[in-house]
Structure 1
Amino acid sequence: MRTRRSYLKIAGALLAGAGVTAGAATLAPTDDRTVHPNATNETAAIEPPEQPADDAAVIDVDYDRHDRPGEVYRIWTGKEGQTYSFVDDQVYDGDSAMRCRIENGENNGSNATYWLPVNGYGQPNEVYQRAVIALGDDWEMEDEDVCRFWCTGLNDEAGPAGSGGNGPPTGDDGWSNLVTVTTRGPDGNGTDEYNLAAYTYHMDQSYSAGELEVIAAPIPSGEWFELETHVRMNSIVDGEAVPNGEVRYWLNGELVYERTDFRWTTTDAQAVEHAGPIVRYGGSENAPTDLRLYYDEHRLVLGDAPPIPSYDEKDGFVSPTVRDEYEGRITFVSRDERTTYTIRCDGEIVHSEWSNIDGQRATYNDTVSITDDGETVVEATIVPSSTDGYFYNGEIVSISADPDPAELWVDGDQADIDDYAGDSAGE
């Protein structure tokens, strides 16, 4: 029975009569890689705060306000409709829930994550999430199978080391923590109850694939359960990752997993990029039958979120998803010192953020000023060793900077700033 009212939202008397209990949060490691002294082995009195901090961003994903999941989530496989859809026959609250389908013999699944930077939230260092989730009535898994179904946090724009057997991460090339359901461990009998497990790509893992930690926290098929997750990035001291990254899972209000020694990153440039539903059955194993997962009541609370506005709140700042509406792109990379620069364009120019194949990650810069004095003029100051990005239509008249940038890219090609000296007024 719940003894608190989580600030991550309870819709009514959650799970009343569902008969789901987390029990003692005992870790049941599958091999010696998963034994950690700080992984909780008894129910602890650690809870999310009663109320979000005043500066926290709170995001409620209301499925009833959208026609399809792709309007709010990033559907990575391009198979929306085949994999993810809104349904009204298996709903926890409101008019619709989201269903994910895994077909018999399939193992690729799909992702429907909330893409934080594209929605204007940058990459926060701390994210709480809450959702109610159900395995379908006919859920079935073979012995030793694993199915990932929830993303506590993931970064893939920095590199591929957070998935696909591409680990271990080195600190600036991606990371992840995913919640899975498995037949491994005690009480998971493969018929009607399954254990949770944590699957993490981190700097101290022993193998190229992520580290799996099985949790003796059984969940049944065919019934809604409440999952809350929390991730906080590790600290960085003198460019080194401190082993204090945190992950916690609560099942129906009870803490069932806690670990506080993760090392994921050596740079502030990568934090939590994606969160929410991620579904993949297996590594190499396939779903033994048609499977269904259901999601409802998704909420995110972002702590230590950078002051990045949503794209419709800041004039001249646009989503990277509108790239095709513009003819060209500029990427300005500063040296290890503060830089002031000016860009003049005879058409339209807008500020955006993105990551590209050349390794630059353009982020929001609140010093950017875009004015029109017959030409569109960008004036900005950029902090050391960072990147600003722009889309534009028309021609670039001139670019000047003090000092010169470390790199300047125009339309995908590296350029010399002297080639854009121009003689426009104000130069």
Structure 2
Amino acid sequence: MKKDHTTGTVPEDHRNGVDETTRDAGMSRRQVVRTGSLLGVSSLIGVAGIGAEGTAAPDVDSASGGGCNRPDDIVHLDYGEYDNWEDMYRMSNGERDNLEIVSSPTHDGDTALQLRVREDQHWGLSTHYDFDGGLLELNGRVNLALNSNWEMGDRTHSRIWNCAMAFGEGSAGGGVPDGTNGWSNRLYVSTRETDPDGPFHLLSYTYHMDQNQDHDYLIDSNPYTVRQAELVPGRWYEFEYYICVNTIDDGVANPDGVIRYWLDGELIYDRQDLRFTTDHETNRIESNGPAGYYGGRYVAPKNLYSYYANHSMALNGTFGDGC
């Protein structure tokens, strides 16, 4: 049986992300299945709402090949194994009933997660799979899709995934990371240099020590863009991400923190000059997970639905062959 979900309007002062900066003391129960690989499948989606002190990055061409930085563990979340998404993820911002496990549309199994951002709202919700004690390195994969009628206004963006967060006032809501008070990296879809009805470009949105709210649009003019990728509404993609915190020398953060993205196995974004932290003990990767936030100055023009399946995480390492 599914648990009852509490609902309600998010107070206006919560919509700037301030609640994401702290970790809820109450941890949800999580069941995990260990695995080592995923298969990417492209398929079309129909109508919305169906179913209700120093760690350096490994020198490899891809987190999923070309070598193995052996992880401490690999976690795979099979959504079909759960009755309730809150057995996997914790919510910070938004409304609980904006996320549910559905039987259609799906990727390659019986279930998927459906995340809604309501018309005229900013928040769907922000979720977190929390890492007890934190990580210095995270390699994640998830299959994701936008519904076929996804549409945005001109020059807007919408968050669809939390790639890595270290909680604190410097991780969101306009806070300024100082090396000890949090940082974050999130994935957005964007209308920058494309049309409001897609295909959509991507945006890497990072809070780091040298710039809060750093917008790296994955377009050809951005120096960290390897390939200008597009998301076509109604189609499944495999998104892979790798985050490694910077090294530290004598309490000083070195500019060698890494963020990399792949789409369907092809490297699309590679940045290796970031300063996240001066404290490897308490200011490290604490969570990742599905998210839905439209804005900031604008609200969703209609109900928007995103879908997720097969979330896997390599903890303190990568998904290399033989891991």
SS in 2 for 1:264: coil
1:76 equivalent to 2:103? Answer: no
1:164 equivalent to 2:164? Answer: no
Q: Which residue of 1 aligns with 2:216?
A: 213
Provide structure 1 residue ranges, at least 5 long, that are not aligned to the other structure.
1-6, 19-44, 306-427
SS in 2 for 1:109: strand
State which of 107, 111, 127 in structure 1 corresponds to 2:126.
111
The one-letter code sitting in structure 1 at the alignment partner of 2:197 is T
Given that residues 103 and 290 in structure 1 are in contact (C-alpha distance below 8 angstroms), is that contact kept between their aligned partners in structure 2?
yes
Cα distance change of structure 1 residues 104 and 273 upon mapping to structure 2, 3 Å threshold: same
Any idea what the Cα deviations from partners look like across 1:75-107, whole Å, max 9, x if unmatched? Answer: 223732x21100011100211100101000000
- By how many angstroms is 1:304 displaced? 5.9
CA distance in 1, matches of 2:291, 2:278: 25
Q: Which residue of 2 aligns with 1:9?
A: 37
4+ long deviations beyond 6 Å = none
The one-letter code sitting in structure 2 at the alignment partner of 1:194 is F
Larger RCO of the pair (alpha carbons < 8 Å, separation 6+)? 2
Any idea what the Cα deviations from partners look like across 1:15-52, whole Å, max 9, x if unmatched? Answer: 2799xxxxxxxxxxxxxxxxxxxxxxxxxx82114475
SS in 2 for 1:132: strand
Given that residues 69 and 112 in structure 1 are in contact (C-alpha distance below 8 angstroms), is that contact kept between their aligned partners in structure 2?
no
SS in 1 for 2:144: strand
Cα distance change of structure 1 residues 78 and 283 upon mapping to structure 2, 3 Å threshold: closer
- By how many angstroms is 1:129 displaced? 0.4
Q: Which residue of 2 aligns with 1:57?
A: 73
CA distance in 1, matches of 2:165, 2:209: 14
The one-letter code sitting in structure 1 at the alignment partner of 2:98 is T
1:129 equivalent to 2:175? Answer: no
SS in 2 for 1:218: coil
Work out which of the two has the higher radius of gyration on C-alpha atoms and give 1 or 2: 1
Given that residues 244 and 257 in structure 2 are in contact (C-alpha distance below 8 angstroms), is that contact kept between their aligned partners in structure 1?
yes
1:266 equivalent to 2:274? Answer: no
Q: Which residue of 2 aligns with 1:145?
A: 156
CA distance in 2, matches of 1:17, 1:65: 24
Given that residues 99 and 114 in structure 2 are in contact (C-alpha distance below 8 angstroms), is that contact kept between their aligned partners in structure 1?
yes
CA distance in 2, matches of 1:72, 1:181: 24
Percent same amino acid among aligned pairs?
Answer: 32
Q: Which residue of 2 aligns with 1:289?
A: 302
Cα distance change of structure 1 residues 198 and 217 upon mapping to structure 2, 3 Å threshold: same
Q: Which residue of 2 aligns with 1:193?
A: 199
Given that residues 8 and 300 in structure 1 are in contact (C-alpha distance below 8 angstroms), is that contact kept between their aligned partners in structure 2?
no
SS in 2 for 1:70: helix
CA distance in 1, matches of 2:126, 2:82: 18
Given that residues 145 and 182 in structure 1 are in contact (C-alpha distance below 8 angstroms), is that contact kept between their aligned partners in structure 2?
yes
1:245 equivalent to 2:257? Answer: yes
CA distance in 2, matches of 1:131, 1:8: 13
Q: Which residue of 1 aligns with 2:246?
A: 234
The one-letter code sitting in structure 2 at the alignment partner of 1:225 is Y
CA distance in 2, matches of 1:60, 1:241: 32
Given that residues 198 and 212 in structure 1 are in contact (C-alpha distance below 8 angstroms), is that contact kept between their aligned partners in structure 2?
yes
- By how many angstroms is 1:260 displaced? 0.3
SS in 2 for 1:164: coil
Provide structure 2 residue ranges, at least 5 long, that are not aligned to the other structure.
1-34, 46-59, 219-227, 319-323
- By how many angstroms is 1:191 displaced? 1.3
Instruction: Count the aligned residue pairs.
Output: 259
Given that residues 103 and 110 in structure 2 are in contact (C-alpha distance below 8 angstroms), is that contact kept between their aligned partners in structure 1?
yes
The one-letter code sitting in structure 1 at the alignment partner of 2:191 is T
- By how many angstroms is 1:164 displaced? 0.7
- By how many angstroms is 1:8 displaced? 6.2
- By how many angstroms is 1:192 displaced? 2.8
Cα distance change of structure 1 residues 267 and 90 upon mapping to structure 2, 3 Å threshold: same
1:298 equivalent to 2:323? Answer: no
